[in-house]
Amino acid sequence: MATPAPSDLTVLVADDDFRVADLHAGIVEAMAGFAVAGTANTLVAARDLLTRTPVDLALVDVYFPDGSGIDLVHELHCDSMVLTASTDTVTVRAAVSGGALGYLVKPFPPTELATRLAGYARYRRLLSAPQVDGASVATALRALHPPSVPSTPAMVATSPTKDLVLHSIIESGAALSAAEAAAAIGISRATAQRYLATLVGEGIVRMRLRYGSTGRPEQEYFAPAR
């Protein structure tokens, strides 16, 4: 896990399935301006992390072996979004009354979470001043629920470096990590990561986790079959 920059928004990912938690953490880490504070697969682990680590945003599932994630949402002193398969209206209302800024129903594409995170970052920027006017408040709240706009390659703004990153993925014939893509075209890993996150958000490249024998799984990127 990379050391967050002072300006990064830190995120706790809490999900009882460690694979899902790792997948969501990978999406967070692929977003510029975000850093993963930690992952937790139980409420006890989530609460313990929250006592030790500053967190700006918690991504919380509902179902845990030791209780309901909605209870955790009600306890939080940071922002939260609920990511769950639960669609019963009581749970939705409880999440909203507990202060959740978003409610995403699983399964959802990685681009949906990336879009919500980008909207959350804008919300934080718009409300970063000590005082704001009514228009700024309305704009900030709208940022939390950005419209879903289908992305196609024709809509994508291009740049030479972005094109090189995309071509490295397409021409490899296999999924590449950000470090591997960077090495293939001679740029820094951070630069490759930034363009890969953009390509994932635009739906051109997909991300999954590469599990090794030890350690944290690594994000890898591939071009979907057309």
- Residue where a domain terminates, one of 109, 143, 177: 143
Residue 56 has pLDDT above 80, yes or no: yes
What's the pLDDT at 157?
A: 53
Binned at pLDDT 50, 70 and 90, residue 124 comes out as very high
Which pair of structure tokens corresponds to residue 119? 């909207």
What's the pLDDT at 149?
A: 46
What's the pLDDT at 155?
A: 36
Domain range holding 179?
153-222
One domain, residues 103 and 159: no
Binned at pLDDT 50, 70 and 90, residue 151 comes out as very low
Q: Please state the rounded mean pLDDT for residues 72-98.
A: 96
CATH number for the domain spanning 57: value is 3.40.50.2300
Report the alpha-carbon distance of residue 116 to residue 101 in Å, rounded: 10
Q: Which of 128-137, 188-197, 212-221 has the lowest mean pLDDT?
A: 212-221
Binned at pLDDT 50, 70 and 90, residue 125 comes out as very high
One domain, residues 190 and 82: no
Report the alpha-carbon distance of residue 166 to residue 198 in Å, rounded: 10
Greater pLDDT, 176 or 23: 176
Residue 46 has pLDDT above 80, yes or no: yes
Q: How many domains are there within the chain?
A: 2
Q: Using an 8 Å Cβ cutoff, are 221 and 169 in contact?
A: yes
Mean of per-residue pLDDT scores for the chain: 86
Q: Using an 8 Å Cβ cutoff, are 82 and 104 in contact?
A: yes
